[in-house]
Amino acid sequence: MVFDWFKRFRKEEEDAQQAAKEQEAAPVEVEAEPALPAVTEAETVAETTYPTDEVEETEDQDDEDEDGDEDEEEEGFQWSEEILAAQGRDHDEISTDEITWLQKLRAGLGRTRQGLVAPLLMLMNFVGKGPISLDQLDELETLLIQADVGVGTSEKILQVLKQETIQAGGLKGDQVVPFLKQLLRNELDIADPYFAPQRGVLNVWLVVGVNGTGKTTTIGKLAHLSQKSGYKTLIAAADTFRAAAVEQVKVWGDRSGVEVIANPQAGTDPAAVVYDAINAALARETELLLVDTAGRLQNKKNLMAELTKIRKIIDTRASDANIEALLVLDATTGQNGLNQARVFTEAADLSGIVLTKLDGTAKGGIAIAIVNELGLPLRFIGVGEKIDDLRPFSSYEFVEALFVDL
């Protein structure tokens, strides 16, 4: 069986250990259940990953790097290994891809971290080992709001912290960060953390969002993940509004080795393209059909009408499929992105969020606000423009990357 790049590890060490125990207890002939990815991955990872010495070789090639870069890379490498180990991964099972991804995530959240962690460190130093006061907790609330966690969400988190402080007769300075991390993870985990296409049946993922958020790029990256994971994949080029849109998605199709169903004529009905793509997917026993859509039409009303029509075609033509509607949000737009989401919810019946451009923004805290305020799970995050720069979201990895030095 091929390694499934859509699956993430359980968010906590105990879960990973529990899965390992279950694996030990299970009779050998029992196939790992797809619903328990920690077990599945532990079993399959060895087939597709590289020996650890190969990982180290890659690192050795960086000899000419400047000292600072090298130190940072080494630090990022070690940190990534620790994060994987904390999720129950064996040292010799870890692949270069996973390490590289975590390093990118860590680097991508750098600016958010600067705004949040540096002041937090100062606050904690000030508190020292004694109990934190309610006034100091108010300062923490301000820090969270500044990192775009959102007023409502920050208030909610602080309420729990304050309650704990009062009830426990004082939360000590060094207990605040672990507690805060756990609270943030709880906020982020609102649905089953495993989000993967179901094998052997058709899954349709409709990808929507305002123009420029990264829909087409995300489609390309998802197609790559899907192809790598051994799913039969197809793309529908349903952005027929912009002349160059079909060409752009075809380039991504070529890069990921996935066929694109498109209508070569300009200005065709996107719902008709989706109709054709579903027929092709059903005929070919496709497992994942990714639908790219327009981000802008003559006006917002037209766009919503078009998306409603596309969604209806999917619901009727692929009624037996697993249908997901993913809203792509650009992290750099911060709180503004949240307003966009509300409009799309109605038209496309959203089921999840893809957060792009987390690299280089100081607004990474928006991830927490999105989940909390929209009530939709975060399914994928993008930290760059390249094909490997998108991965399934893991609250554990995200929160650890946000608090690297704490």
Q: Which residues bind ligand GTP (CB under 6 A)?
A: 209, 211-217, 239, 245, 295-296, 328, 356-357, 359, 382-385, 389
* Residue located via tokens 């209508």: 263
Closest CA to 178 of 246, 209, 132: 132
End-to-end CA distance of the chain: 38
Q: How far apart are CA 270 and CA 291, in angstroms?
A: 10
Is residue 361 near Mg ion by the rule CB under 5 A? no
Task: Report the helix count and the strand count for the chain, using DSSP H and E.
Answer: 16, 8
Q: What Rg, from alpha-carbon coordinates, does the chain have?
A: 22
Is residue 372 near Mg ion by the rule CB under 5 A? no
Q: How far is the CB of 34 from ligand GTP (least distance, A)?
A: 28
By beta-carbon proximity to ligand GTP, the closer residue of 234 and 249 is 249
By beta-carbon proximity to Mg ion, the closer residue of 127 and 262 is 262
Q: Which does 7 bind (CB under 5 to 8 A by kind): ligand GTP, Mg ion, none?
A: none
By beta-carbon proximity to Mg ion, the closer residue of 262 and 401 is 262
Q: How far is the CB of 374 from ligand GTP (least distance, A)?
A: 18
Q: How far is the CB of 257 from ligand GTP (least distance, A)?
A: 19
By beta-carbon proximity to ligand GTP, the closer residue of 173 and 295 is 295
The percent helix, strand, coil of the chain (3-state, each to 5) is 55, 10, 30
Residues between 180 and 219 with contacts to Mg ion, criterion CB under 5 A: 215-216
By beta-carbon proximity to Mg ion, the closer residue of 203 and 216 is 216
Is residue 351 near Mg ion by the rule CB under 5 A? no
By beta-carbon proximity to ligand GTP, the closer residue of 36 and 207 is 207
The tokens for 279 are 């027929």
For helices 366-374 and 151-167, what crossing angle results, to 10°?
A: 90
> CA–CA distance from 340 to each of 179, 209, 257, 262, 336 (Å)?
32, 8, 32, 27, 7
- DSSP strands (E only) in 270-316: 288-293
> For 149, phi and psi rounded to 5 degrees?
-70, -20
Q: Which does 211 bind (CB under 5 to 8 A by kind): ligand GTP, Mg ion, none?
A: ligand GTP
> For 107, phi and psi rounded to 5 degrees?
-65, -40
Q: How many CB atoms lie within 10 A of CB 145?
A: 18
Q: Which does 170 bind (CB under 5 to 8 A by kind): ligand GTP, Mg ion, none?
A: none
Binding mask 216-255 for Mg ion (x = CB under 5 A): x---------------------------------------
Q: Which does 74 bind (CB under 5 to 8 A by kind): Mg ion, ligand GTP, none?
A: none
Q: How far is the CB of 362 from ligand GTP (least distance, A)?
A: 14
> For 156, phi and psi rounded to 5 degrees?
-60, -45
By beta-carbon proximity to Mg ion, the closer residue of 157 and 245 is 245
Is residue 112 near Mg ion by the rule CB under 5 A? no
Q: Which does 385 bind (CB under 5 to 8 A by kind): ligand GTP, Mg ion, none?
A: ligand GTP
Residues that bind Mg ion (CB under 5 A): 215-216
